[in-house]
């Protein structure tokens, strides 16, 4: 059961945390706004709508920084008022004093992850629509994939699209493979342009290549237009799979499974999936790392030194985290290790420092 001192520490932490989050988010949005204002001409209401939609995503990304700032300022303030010494004298350890802060961070991280996973992808999609249609005024760039990585499997058919635009319900560069029950190739359909409707695609300017056992050579027939039926599973294309931030973890998992079933490399998407989850624990890891440094520097009574320590810890973590993610996407490390190794390394080092810190 929480004591009065626990509620007191939580109150201080939440105040510093909220203040840090608001300050850093405001600075980021202000700088981004000035940059876009200098580059593009759009009305005030357009920019307002754009940045209102962007704010939840930015605040979620800045949570780890706000967590460590809140923890460091809380402990530094306790020390400055000699409250930390009094707590140590009463028999409370650094771990016990930090417990309400860590529980607060864990609670906020847990719920913010699920809320962000449900809400942010929808807001990001609407934000991109405003950006490409009303700010950049290049709507054709919206929701287009240029990586040849859109693969889907439906029964004995494999679909590959070169590019896809959800806003225009169209795609380009279709290659469709038909197989029999033994997975022998029966025919290949290629089309330059595709108009997508529910349950049916209209293919334009393409060809059909048929493979028959009685003929040593495939038969190729060209067509100007051709309709094919598609299952409801392809409604998943309404989400923009060119950017993993526009997908929930459930959608991303489904997308990975579909690609795996088709025998397609999914390493990059697996890293992104694990990254979404591991990032939710970044704040807790950073706070654990910052606590021993904070107490060590707090005895000097300098807020400036603690801010410097905070910035250094965040910088080192971000460099390590980004490096592992990039290595994972290039196949150097397995996806699970690439996404979780920075957290585990910082966690282990933080526990080592906490054990060594004396009252």
The per-residue pLDDT string of the chain (359 residues; one tens digit each, 9 = 90 and over) reads 458 888 999 999 999 999 999 999 999 999 999 998 888 888 889 999 999 999 999 999 999 999 999 998 998 888 888 888 888 888 888 888 889 999 999 999 999 999 888 898 888 888 888 888 888 876 655 554 444 456 676 677 888 887 776 656 777 888 888 888 777 888 999 999 888 877 788 899 999 998 877 777 788 889 999 888 876 445 445 444 446 677 888 888 887 887 777 666 788 889 999 999 999 999 999 999 888 877 655 444 466 777 787 788 889 999 999 999 999 988 889 999 999 999 999 999 988 888 776 54
Spatial CA neighbour of 294 closest among 282, 281, 311: 311
SS3 content of the chain, % helix, strand, coil (to 5): 65, 15, 20
Neighbours of 10 (CB within 10 A): 18
The pair phi, psi for residue 299, each rounded to 5°, is -65, -20
Phi-psi region of 143 (alpha: psi -120 to 50; beta: other; left: phi over 0): left
Residues 132, 151 share a domain: no
Q: Residue 259 domain-assigned?
A: no
Beta bridge partners of residue 163, listed in sequence order: 172
Helices 335-356, 303-329: axis angle to 10 degrees equals 150
Number of domains in the chain: 2
Question: What pLDDT does residue 303 have?
Answer: 67
Domain end point (choices 234, 263, 298): 234
Is 190 within 8 Å of 160 (Cβ atoms)? no
Residues 165 and 128 in one domain: no
The upper half-sphere exposure of residue 111, i.e. CA atoms within 13 Å in the direction of its Cβ, equals: 5
pLDDT of residue 108: 95
Q: Is residue 312 part of a domain?
A: yes
- Residue 102 in any domain: the answer is yes
Whether 244 is covered by a domain: the verdict is no
Residue 151 and residue 131 share a domain: no
**303 within domain boundaries:** yes
Alpha carbons 236 and 212: distance in angstroms, whole number:
33
How far is Cα 249 from Cα 272, in angstroms, rounded to an integer?
A: 9
Report the alpha-carbon distance of residue 7 to residue 13 in Å, rounded.
10
| pLDDT at res. 356 | 76
Angle (deg, nearest 10), helices 303-329 and 267-278 = 160
| Distance from C-alpha of 159 to C-alpha of 228, rounded to nearest angstrom | 12
- Is residue 347 situated within a structural domain? yes
Closest CA to 264 of 183, 187, 149, 154: 149
Beta bridge partners of 157: 154, 178
DSSP annotation of 216 reads S
CB distance 144 to 242 below 8 Å: yes
- Please indicate, yes or no, whether residues 337 and 306 belong to a single structural domain of this protein: yes
Per the document, the length of the chain is 359
Give the pair of three-digit tokens for residue 282.
Answer: 């970044």
Which of 211, 234, 257 delimits the end of a domain?
234
Give the structural domain span for 119: 4-137+274-356
Crossing angle (nearest 10°) for helices 4-39 and 94-130: 30
On whether both 314 and 342 belong to a single domain, the answer is yes
Q: Are residues 109 and 180 in the same domain?
A: no
Distance in angstroms (rounded) separating the CA atoms of residues 145 and 168: 13
On whether both 202 and 111 belong to a single domain, the answer is: no
Task: Let me know whether 10 and 123 are in one domain.
Answer: yes
**306 within a domain of the structure (yes/no):** yes
* Same domain assignment for residues 9 and 130: yes
* Residues 78 and 109 reside in one and the same domain: yes
Residue 52 belongs to a domain: yes
Instruction: Find out whether 64 and 108 touch, Cβ atoms under 8 Å.
Output: no
User: 111: which 2 tokens?
Assistant: 């719920």
């Amino acid at each position: 059961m929480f004591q009065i001192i626990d509620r007191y520490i939580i109150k201080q932490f939440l105040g510093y945390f909220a203040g840090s989050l608001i300050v850093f988010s405001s600075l980021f949005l202000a700088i981004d706004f000035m940059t876009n204002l200098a580059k593009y001409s759009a009305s005030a209401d357009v920019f307002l709508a754009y940045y209102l939609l962007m704010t939840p995503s930015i605040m979620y990304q800045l949570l780890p920084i706000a967590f460590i700032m809140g923890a460091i300022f809380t402990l530094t303030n306790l020390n400055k008022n000699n409250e930390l010494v009094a707590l140590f004298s009463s028999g409370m350890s650094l771990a016990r004093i930090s417990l309400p802060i860590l529980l607060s961070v864990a609670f906020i991280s847990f719920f913010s992850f699920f809320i962000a996973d449900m809400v942010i992808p929808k807001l990001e999609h609407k934000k991109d629509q405003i950006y490409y249609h009303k700010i950049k005024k290049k709507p054709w760039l919206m929701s287009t994939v240029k990586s040849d990585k859109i693969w889907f499997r439906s029964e004995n058919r494999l679909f590959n699209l070169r590019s896809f635009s959800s806003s225009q319900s169209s795609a380009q560069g279709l290659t469709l493979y038909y197989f029999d029950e033994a997975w022998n190739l029966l025919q290949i359909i290629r089309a330059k342009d595709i108009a997508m409707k529910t349950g049916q695609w209209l293919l334009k300017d393409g060809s059909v290549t048929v493979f028959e056992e009685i003929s040593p050579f495939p038969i190729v027939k060209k067509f100007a237009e051709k309709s094919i039926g598609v299952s409801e599973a392809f409604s998943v294309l309404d989400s923009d799979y060119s950017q993993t931030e526009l997908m929930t973890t459930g959608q991303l998992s489904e997308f990975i499974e579909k690609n795996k079933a088709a025998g397609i490399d999914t390493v990059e998407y697996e890293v992104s999936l694990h990254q979404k989850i591991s990032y939710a624990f970044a704040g807790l890891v950073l706070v654990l790392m910052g606590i021993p440094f904070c107490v060590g520097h707090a005895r000097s009574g300098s807020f400036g030194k603690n801010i410097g320590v905070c910035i250094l810890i965040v910088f080192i973590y971000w460099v390590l985290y980004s490096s592992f993610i990039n290595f994972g996407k290039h196949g150097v490390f397995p996806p699970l290790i690439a996404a979780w190794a920075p957290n585990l390394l910082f966690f282990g080092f933080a526990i080592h420092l906490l054990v060594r810190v004396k009252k």
